[in-house]
Amino acid sequence: MITMDHIIREGDTVLREVADVVSLPPSEEEKSILKDMLQFLKNSQDEQIAKEYNLRAGVGLAAPQINVSKRMLAVHFEDFNGKQYSHALFNPKIVSHSVEKTYLSTGEGCLSVDREVPGYVPRYARITVKGIGLDGYEVKLRLKGFAAIVFQHEIDHLNGIMFYDHINKVNPFQEPENATPAD
């Protein structure tokens, strides 16, 4: 079971690496790790389990955050319209995106960052993501708003990018160009 003890924190170089492509088909070990990542997210959102194991709630997790430098991510959340997303993907890739941007007015946080970093994180408002699911089939997802933001946060981790890298250094709350808030 993945717990907070397994979560790599900022300062560790693994979070700054470009993660390796997973050669297909994924191994049983890779599948097992990815399943555990999705289970961690579910556990982290279960009040009882989260309390018992001291889990911080998370909507997404990328493999480098558990010290596995491979292109694997899991997400588990509901968007602001109550639409549910639960995905575990190998080699996720943004195949197209909007010109328009969006951001969360509350900013972003990260399980690997034990401090609040204020500011708007500009993200594409709409993206199309392709990847390979746990069953080995290709998945193609058209995402907007909060869902698009979460996937971009996770895919950034696979490229060694942290959410605060995108925050305007002069004025963290500068409204990004071409953007409307997701919330």
Exactly one of 110, 129, 132, 134 binds Ni ion (CB under 5 A); that residue is 110
166 is in an annotated binding site: no
61 binds, among Ni ion, ligand SB7, none (CB under 5 to 8 A by kind): ligand SB7
Decide: is 141 part of the binding site for Ni ion (CB under 5 A): no
Q: Which of 52, 100, 154, 175 is catalytic?
A: 154
Helices and strands per DSSP (H, E), number in the chain: 3, 8
Decide: is 88 part of the binding site for ligand SB7 (CB under 6 A): no
Q: To which H or E segment does residue 57 belong? A: none
Q: Quick check: is 138 catalytic?
A: no
DSSP class of residue 65 equals G
Q: CA 70 from chain center: how many Å?
A: 14
The smaller minimum CB distance to ligand SB7, of residues 22 and 66, is found at: 66
Q: Binding-site residue total for Ni ion (CB under 5 A)?
A: 1
Sheet of 123-124: strands edge to edge? 123-124, 101-103, 179-181
